[in-house]
Homo-oligomer: A and B are copies of this chain.
Amino acid sequence: MDMVSFFNVRRPKSVTSNSKNGFSALSITASQEDDEADSGNHVRLKSPRWFSEFSSIWPGQAHFLKVENILFQGKSQYQSMLVFQSASYGKVFVLDGDLQLTEKDECSYQEMITHLPLCSIPDPKKVLLIGGGDGGILREISRHSSVEEIDICEIDTMLIDVYKEYFPNVAVGYKDSRVKLHVIDGTLYLKSIERGTYDAIIVDAFDPIRGDHELLESEFMEVAARALRGGGVMCIQAESLWCGSLDIQKLFSKCRQIFKGSIDYAWTTVPSYPSGVIGFLLCSTEGPYVDFRCPINPIDPSSCGISKQPLKFYNSEVHSAAFCLPSFARKATSSMMKPKNST
């Protein structure tokens, strides 16, 4: 690995194959001659062992992490994967060149996207996770003793296997006996089930949703709303407050039409994500009014679920605080928060 200088799994240079852990493990080696500079948004480094992330959503900036050791590199039928030991963020998982998860800060994202919806409704029993193949959200759902069924739609089983191998503390969620894996596209699954099946749906499957996101125009949101019981809730990753193309008002307006209940927006700190912030869009369907800011269903601290570890990030104070938006973002939400006819 001494020759590893820079890798971008979207554009691998030279690839050698190893068989390891039952996966098709790959490692990238690149000679110094490969180093080059793009004049556009990409740069390549001559220095050894740095991973870089450039995102089209965040042009003009990049985040670099120092690589201690490449643990796995491979490709499923859907996407390429890279696992490395970083110098400062623990193990890191990269999907199609985009940083997905680091051991250092996964707690913030996984705990918030799970407990913001589940702590906002009384006694959730049936929960659906779309995407989230790493298992961390399953681990968090597992803390809720009221939950009887946890369904997950994840199409890439190799991704699950890689997480189980390299991130056992994340993938531990699969060990909960309530979990049932459906290897099927989320939209197809949602279409196949009865109306009003779920108390909560958590979506961790797409690029972060924005005001102009194609997801809003697709049938996905319609079928998700249909799959929820009255007063059921959905939580989906929704960009960063600092992202120029985030239009919360448009997002709210569209989701109000579809879900017909309350809509709200929260955010948390995730250092490895560009801008250090990830937002969440929360929607409830017509029925019993859901006040997302008020966690009426707090987590029993003695109930750690399958992970046996206490919460690292989430608590009821952080829950409510997550909905407090900077003034520049608050204008959009203040008039849009409550449904017209809450019951």
Contacts and interface: CB of A to CB of B under 8 A. Distances in A.
Given A61-B64, A61-B88, A88-B60, A37 B45 contact: yes
A46 interface: yes
A276 interface: yes
A216 interface: no
A104 B58 CA distance: 13
A147 interface: no
Nearest to A328: B312
Contact of A46 (B35, B61, B107): B35
Given A39-B47, A59-B88, A326 B66 contact: no
Nearest to A105: B242
Interface residues of A, number: 62
A65 interface: yes
Nearest to A276: B276
Nearest to A50: B43
Interface stretch (A163-171, A172-180, A314-322): A314-322
Contacts of A269: 241-242, 267, 269, 275-277, 326
A64 B65 contact: no
Given A43-B50, A46-B35, A269-B277, A315 B328 contact: no
Contacts of A312: 326-328
Given A64-B43, A242-B105, A326 B318 contact: yes
Interface in A128-149: none
Interface string A305-343: 000001111110110111011111010000000000000
A38 to B, nearest CB: 6
Nearest to A45: B43
A103 to B, nearest CB: 13
Contacts of A48: 37, 39
Interface string A260-299: 0000000101110111110000000000000000000000
B46 A36 contact: yes
A79 interface: no
A318 B325 contact: yes
A275 to B, nearest CB: 4
A62 interface: yes
B64 A62 contact: yes
A45 to B, nearest CB: 5
A94 to B, nearest CB: 15
A195 interface: no
A120 interface: no
B44 A43 contact: no
A86 interface: yes
Contacts of A240: 271
B47 A46 contact: no
B61 A63 contact: yes
A188 interface: no
Given A35-B46, A320-B324, 7 more contacts: A43-B50, A44-B47, A60-B89, A269-B275, A269-B326, A314-B327, A321-B321
11 contacts: A37-B45, A43-B64, A45-B45, A59-B66, A60-B65, A61-B66, A107-B328, A242-B269, A269-B275, A318-B326, A320-B324
Closest 4 CB pairs between A and B? A276-B276, A60-B87, A60-B88, A43-B47
